[in-house]
Copies of this chain bind each other. A is one copy, B any other.
């Protein structure tokens, strides 16, 4: 119980936190410029003004740095989506569209980070389980909107849900698992509709960010807004 025991962190500890932050920032900058596959510890060291071996005081390996950056990025995206959603009433179509637009905006603003999260896996790197918790935040927001609407009774019968044909039994556990995200029981057909909306919106974002629309769609933002609004309507949101 010395005076400094649990009080203000010492110089060393503060420095450590500051340098760690600088390392992560350099990592993020690397990511933004050259992408995950080309991210190198030596470049991070260079940009932080340290000798390459010094980085190992802060990060055990290149893979660990990647993992930290992935988690950070998922959280950054998740926070952006949650903030956007919070501007609209729970269970509303506007909230769904707001969340969807936040996903797209973030992706367009951070293409390499988006690629790290939702693009081709980085060769030779396997994301540890640590990242999956953070990875669900953005998606959870979309699903919760539908769950909230169902709970509040404001959900109209889903037009898409009605189109879904008879579903195979073996799909039931999967749908139940996804349905839990909603915090409310959802019909299997509705869960499929949610999954379709989810993959549709991310598919469109991926096509835009990865350049697949380059020769056909010049106004991806407008197309995305139309798609998001249509998706919300197709889920029965209003």
Contacts and interface: CB of A to CB of B under 8 A. Distances in A.
A115 interface: yes
Contact of A200 (B171, B200, B211, B212): B200
A229 interface: yes
A36 to B, nearest CB: 8
Contacts of A167: 226
A37 B195 CA distance: 30
Interface of A is mostly: helix
Interface of A: 34-35, 37-38, 115, 118-121, 123-124, 132, 159-160, 163-165, 167-168, 170-171, 173-174, 177-178, 192-193, 195-196, 199-204, 206-207, 210-212, 215-219, 222-223, 226-227, 229-231, 233-234
Q: How many copies does the complex hold?
A: 2
A199 B220 CA distance: 12
Given A171-B226, A206-B203, A227-B199, A163 B233 contact: yes
Contacts of A234: 160, 163, 234
A37 B196 CA distance: 30
Given A165-B229, A226-B167, A227-B192, A218 B35 contact: no
A214 to B, nearest CB: 8
A174 B217 contact: yes
Given A160-B234, A226-B164, A170 B120 contact: no
A223 B164 CA distance: 11
Contact of A222 (B115, B170, B203): B170
B204 A171 contact: no
A173 B167 CA distance: 38
Given A174-B218, A174-B223, A230 B196 contact: yes
B120 A215 contact: no
Contacts of A217: 174, 177-178, 195
Contact of A173 (B34, B119, B177, B218): B218
